[in-house]
Structures are given as structure tokens and as C-alpha cells.
Chain A
Amino acid sequence: MASDVIVRTHNLGKRYKNRWAVEDVNLEIYRGDIFGFLGPNGAGKSTTIRMILSLIQPTAGSVELFGHQLRTEREKALAKVAGIVEKPDFYLYLTAIRNMEIAGSLTLGKTPDRKAIASALGLVGLGERANDRVKTFSHGMKQRLGIAQALLCEPDLIVLDEPTNGLDPQGMKEVRELVVRLSKERGMTVFLSSHLLNEVEQVATRMAIINKGTLVVQGNVDELVRNSTKNILLDARPQKKALAVMRKMKLVKNPLPDGEGITAEIESPQIPSVVAGLVRAGCKVYGVKQERSLEEYFLSVTESEGGSPKPNPRTTP
């Protein structure tokens, strides 16, 4: 499993004067992940990403990409990496093709093939604007051009920092779909930072949350959200009988009627036992719904952390 880690940061930190913008961040991203990197504005997401992409020199710690130390083997480490940090910026006075050539040549060491450029531009729906100057492009088009130039060199890892910023709902949906497609069809690992929780919830397989410069948690999205869920909505009938049974269970706290169902505080691992108990008592269980969303989870961990340092955040592979 360790060999599948393609991004590893070790006690990564950045200090500006007396303030640590990022401190002791230990990230592990596995091959094939769509890794969501969550945090409120100013939490340190962009600083971390810039350190991973070598735009910012870390004050402490190290970054390892594909087994190569970024500090000492920069060219090898970044050979299979593409990134868009914050918003994609281009040479506005040049055409889309020229911008693609410049970006591509820096990665490939030679001017990329025009067919490859046309193919990448076609993939993001900019084929017909290839010869237009980028200054005539809308924000959404620049975002798509950014993705096209990132894809041109067929990276194994694509780092997208707030890729849907400033996009309309349709544009955001398209980017999300593209991220999933890249992972599924091309086997790319995607490192996606966002402050939009639903965005990460919809596409990410693993995630990390950073708050006030400190990594709060990282792991599998489903497990993190599910394991921490307490509020459960049960559709068990008859309702009165089910309520009575649940009130006698030690595993269940505060069972209350909620419409035709029952809400209660139950630790995720205990749900099967509760359902079994209800069935044994003659109740019929039609559904169990974990009410807690990523948003609630996010708020709970960021608010409870309060920015206090947590050097060894719990990790689930």
C-alpha cells in the first residue's frame, strides 16, 4: 500500500514572520484517489497546495511526489504532475494554442504536437476557439483551458485548487463531471481543494480537512462521515411500539418521533444491533438514514478544533 502513496507530505509547514500559515501537515494521497482537501477560507489549503507544487518554499518539512523529494529532485517529482492554482492565468495576448504550446513545452521539453493540443482543447469544448486570443475568453472558458493545458501532458496527478471558483452552476457541474471522468477513464489521481463541501462530497473518495493551518483529519470520505454519524432517522413501524423498544435500549439516546419515523442518537457501528432488536420485538424497519452530511461533519470538526494544533490527525487509509 505504501508504494501506492503518490503524494506524501511530512510535517509540512510554512511560517510568515511569527505566524505559521501551515504547520505539521502530514498528507498521504494514494494512486487513483479523488482527494478532497477541505477547509474554510484562509485555512491554509492554497499554501499547502503551493508548497506541493513548489510555488512556495516550505519553512519546515518536506514534500514527496511519486517517491521523489520535491526539494532535491524537483524535475522528477513534477514530471507527472499538473496543477491549476486558484484561477488559471494565461498569456492573455496569445492564442489558446500558443498558451498550450508554452505550457506543454515546459513539461515535455519540446513543443507539443498540434493534434494533441487540438484533442485536449476538444475535450473541454474549446476546439473552435483554439486560435482566439485568451483575453476574449470568459472565466469559465479560461477554467476549461486550464484543465486542457493540464491534461495535455497526460499527468498521473492533477492538482486543482478551487476549480469551480467563479463558475456558474452549469460550469461547476461540468468540472465535477470532468474530475470524475478523469479519475475513472484515465486513472488519474485528482487532488481537489475546495471550500464547497457538497462538491467534495459528490466527487471525492478520500479527503482531508485543514483548519487554521493544521490538519484536522484525513481519510475515506464515507467512513469519516458515517463513523461519526450519530443522528439516525429510522422508518420503523408501528412507530409507538418502536419508540418504546428503542427507549429501553442502552445503545440508543434521545429517540424522538419525527414525522412517520423516529430520530435518535446512535453510534454508526451500533445501527445493525438496534435494527435487529426492533425486528426481534416485532417492529418492521423500512429504512435507516444517516442524517449527518459532510457539512455537519465539517462544521463539527472545524469548530471543535478551534485551530488548536493536532500533530497526529487520525488517518484511515
Chain B
Amino acid sequence: MINLIYFELFKTYAKWRTYIGFIVIGVLIPLVVWAMKMEGGKIMQFQMKTLQNDFFITGNLFNGWTLSQMIMNSLWIHVPFLISLVAGDQLAGEATAGTFRLILVRPVSRGRILNSKYITTLLYTASLVFAIALLSLGLGLTILGSGDLLSIDRNMMTIIPESEMWTRFAIAYGLAILSMWVVASLAFLFSSFVENAIGPIIATMAVIVVFLIITNLPVDSFEPLKPYLFTTYQDVWQQAFRIPIEWDRIAKSCAVLAGYCAGFWAVTFVVFRRKDILS
């Protein structure tokens, strides 16, 4: 199995489309950091204006941590697209290239081949999120320095001491990886249906957009649906910046997200095992 995963990783990272995600974040994050360095202070001052009427605030609240959290907030719309570029290509790409005929005539079960591809997809997803963490924290802390984190999440404002930052960001990025694994699993599932990688990317994004709209629109008739949509739980990483951390909510969200991953994998498994290779 390790050998299978090794070659799947090799194949994935030998394709240039794999690097599109890294290139995008490699350009975008430094741009955001540069822009924040130039104008971040003004933005922060504007946001703090009303707070300063009621609170006496000292120290540097606009720092690398704040910036990294802002980047996390803003990137989760684009990251699913970057993930589905690769996850949607895992099975459909082999069908397009005709290479299923090369690998599926071998004495290896389809289940093992599928699992090696799935694990590769999860590893790629984790590596992309890790790259976001590395870039945003690395550049942010280097250029804007460290300090306490002013976390504004919906209608709650929290100031978290600097000493807790590494732990909290580690939890946040860990939860973000799980959240993105659901996206990857969905794209992987769509990839098993078709023989062209464009379809899974579009289908994944369509599902995410529809689910996000249902999740975020304050419409009563959508309320019964919300507990069943994975998008309801994808912001679980924000729990890492609450005081205190609500572990039971995190556990519930993780269970639902992991359940979605398992469900998408199971359907993919059934589809792939029965799939006729006609291309």
C-alpha cells in the first residue's frame, strides 16, 4: 500500500496542475501581507474606532496572528476550488488519459488503488492548507510582528493572549484541514463518475455554493436542512479562537465532517468498483 501511495504522490506532484494551488497562494498571500503592511493600520483603526469608546486598548493588535486569521477567513472560498482542481482529476484524469487501462489490468484490487488515490488526495489537501499556514504565519509574523489576537467572529469579539497562539492556530489549521477534506472527498466522488476533470470541479463548486447559500441565508424554511449540510460545520476552525474553546461543539462538527468524508468515500468505492473502463 505504501508503494501505491508513493507512486500516486509521485504522479500527483509531477503534474503541473498540482502546483496551481501553491502558486495562487504563493502570490496571493504575500500580496495581502504587503497590502496590510501598507494599509492594515488604517483598517484596524477604523474597526477599533467604536471599540475605543468603551475599551482602553494598548499594544499591537494588528500583527501576524491577526493577519493570518484574516487570511484564513478570506481564503476558504477559493481554497475549495484549488483543491477540487487536483481532487477532481484523481480518477477522471486517469480516465481521460486512458491510463486506467494501464493500472487496472494489474493484480491489485480496485479498492487498494482507490484508497491510495484517496489518501494522496487527502495528503495534497493537507499540504495546501499547511502551505497557507506556513506562508501567512511566516510572512505575517516576520513583517507585522507578534502580539495578542483580536478575534472577531460574527457578533463575538475575543482577545487571546499571545502565549496561546501557536496552540490555537495548530488546532484551527487542523480543523481547517478536516473541513477541506470534505471538499476533496466530494470532488473525488464526482471524479469517479466522469472521464473529464472539468466536470468534478464545476460540480463540486456548484454544491458548495448552493450549500453555502442555504447555510448562510437566514430563511426559516432552510433551517431544518442546515444540520445536514457539511457547510454548516466547515467554519469549525473558528472555534479555536473562542474563549473558552467549546470542545463538545468541535467534537460534533468533526464527527459530522468525518462522516461526510466517510460517506463520500464509500459511494466512490462502490461506483469505482463497478465502473466499466470504456475509454
Interface residues, chain A, with chain B CB atoms under 8 Å away: 50, 53-57, 74-79, 81-94, 98-99, 101-103, 105-107, 109-111, 149
Contacts of A82 in B (CB 8 A): 105
Instruction: Indicate whether B216 reaches chain A with its CB closer than 8 angstroms.
Output: no
Supposing A50-B277, A57-B276 touch, asked if A89 and B107 sit within 8 A by C-beta, the answer is no
Query: Are A89 and B105 in contact (CB-based, < 8 A)?
Result: no
CB distance from A56 to the nearest CB of B (A): 4
In the complex, identify which listed stretch (B3-11, B62-70, B207-215, B231-239) lies at the interface while the others stay far away.
B3-11
> Are A107's CB and B107's CB within 8 A?
yes
Flag if A56 contacts B99 (CB, 8 Å).
no
Measuring CB to CB, which residues of chain B are less than 8 angstroms from any residue of chain A? 3-4, 7, 10-11, 14-16, 97-109, 113, 274, 276-278
Chain A residues within an 8 Å CB radius of B101: 55, 84-86, 88-89
Closest residue of chain A to B99, judged by CB?
A89
**Smallest Cβ distance from B226 to chain A, in angstroms?**
39
Contact A103–B106 (Cβ < 8 Å): yes
Taking CB atoms, residues of chain B closer than 8 Å to A149 are: 102
The one of B99, B102, B105 that contacts A54, using a Cβ cutoff of 8 Å: B105
A88 to B101, CA, bound (A): 8
Cα distance, A111 to B7, chains bound together (Å): 9
The 6 A-B pairs with the shortest beta carbon distances in the complex, nearest first, are: A89-B98, A106-B106, A55-B277, A78-B107, A53-B105, A75-B107
Name the distance in Å between A89's Cβ and chain B's nearest Cβ: 3
Across the interface, which residues of A come within 8 angstroms of B277, CB to CB? 50, 55-56
Say whether A57 contacts B3, CB under 8 Å: no
Picked from A79, A103, A110, A111, the residue with its CB within 8 Å of the CB of B103 is: A103
Other than the given A102-B7, A105-B4, 9 more pairs (CB < 8 A) read: A55-B100, A55-B277, A57-B274, A74-B109, A75-B109, A76-B107, A84-B101, A88-B102, A89-B99
Choose one: A56, A79, A93, A111; the contact of B107 (CB below 8 Å).
Answer: A79
A86 CA to B113 CA, complexed, in Å: 22
CA distance A84 to B103 in the complex (A): 11
Q: Decide: B107 and A91 in contact? CB cutoff 8 A.
A: no
Residues of B with C-beta under 8 A to A89: 97-99, 101-102
Tell me the bound Cα distance from A56 to B276 in angstroms.
4
Partner of B99, one of A55, A84, A91: A91
Q: Let me know if A56 and B278 touch, CB within 8 A.
A: yes
Q: Contacting B7 at CB < 8 Å: which of A79, A83, A85, A101?
A: A101
A-B contact pairs, 24 of them (CB 8 A): A50-B277, A55-B105, A56-B277, A57-B274, A57-B276, A81-B107, A82-B105, A83-B105, A86-B101, A87-B98, A88-B101, A89-B97, A89-B102, A90-B99, A91-B97, A102-B10, A102-B103, A103-B103, A103-B106, A105-B4, A106-B113, A107-B106, A111-B3, A149-B102
Residues of A within 8 A of B105 (CB): 53-55, 78, 81-83, 85
A76 to B108 CA separation, bound complex (whole angstroms) = 9
Q: Which residue from chain A places its CB closest to the CB of B11 in the assembled complex?
A: A91
Q: With the chains together, A55 CA to B278 CA distance in Å?
A: 8
Bound-state Cα–Cα, A269 to B3, Å: 59
| A83 neighbours in B (Cβ, 8 Å) | 105
Partner of A110, one of B3, B102, B109: B3
Decide: A109 and B102 in contact? CB cutoff 8 A: no
Residues of B near A75 (CB, < 8 A) are 107-109
Task: Please give, as numbers and ranges, the residues of chain B lying within 8 Å of A84 by CB-CB distance.
Answer: 101
| Min C-beta distance of A182 to chain B, whole Å | 17
Given A89-B97, A89-B102, A98-B10, are A55 and B276 neighbors across the interface (CB < 8 Å)? yes
CB-CB nearest in chain B for A74: B109
CA distance A111 to B10 in the complex (A): 13
- Closest Cβ neighbor of B1 among chain A residues: A109
Q: Cβ of A88: which chain B residues have Cβ within 8 Å of it?
A: 101-102
**Least Cβ distance of B20 to chain A in Å?**
15
Closest B residue to A73 using CB positions: B107
Cβ of B104: which chain A residues have Cβ within 8 Å of it? 54-55
Q: How far is the CB of A145 from chain B (nearest CB, A)?
A: 11
The residue in chain B whose Cβ has the minimal distance to the Cβ of A92 is: B97
Shortest Cβ gap from B109 to chain A (Å)? 6
Q: Which residues of A contact B14 (CB under 8 A)?
A: 91, 93-94, 98
Separation in Å of the B42 CB from the closest CB of chain A?
47
A43 to chain B, nearest CB (A): 16
- Residue of B103, B104, B109, B274 most packed against chain A (CB within 10 A): B104
- Specify the chain B residue showing the minimal Cβ separation from A102: B7
Q: Chain B's nearest CB lies how many Å from the CB of A95?
A: 10
A313 to chain B, nearest CB (A): 25
Q: Note all chain B residues with C-beta closer than 8 A to A76.
A: 107
* Complex-state Cα separation, A101 to B104, whole angstroms: 15
A74 touches B107 (CB 8 A): yes
**Are A102 and B100 within 8 A (Cβ)?**
no
The reply to whether B7 and A105 contact each other, CB–CB distance below 8 Å, is yes
Q: In the complex, which residues of chain A have a beta carbon less than 8 angstroms from the beta carbon of B97?
A: 89, 91-92
Task: Give the chain A neighbours of B10 by CB distance below 8 A.
Answer: 98, 102
B7 neighbours in A (Cβ, 8 Å):
101-102, 105
Cβ of B256 to closest chain A Cβ, rounded Å: 34
Do B11 and A94 touch (CB < 8 A)?
Answer: yes
Residues of A within 8 A of B274 (CB): 57
Output the nearest chain A residue to B103 by Cβ-Cβ distance.
A106
Q: How far, in angstroms, from A56 to B16 measured CA to CA in the complex?
A: 31
Closest to B106 in A: A106
Contacts of B4 in A (CB 8 A): 105-106
Chain B residues with Cβ below 8 Å from A50 are: 276-278
Shortest CB-to-CB span from A61 to chain B, Å, is 15
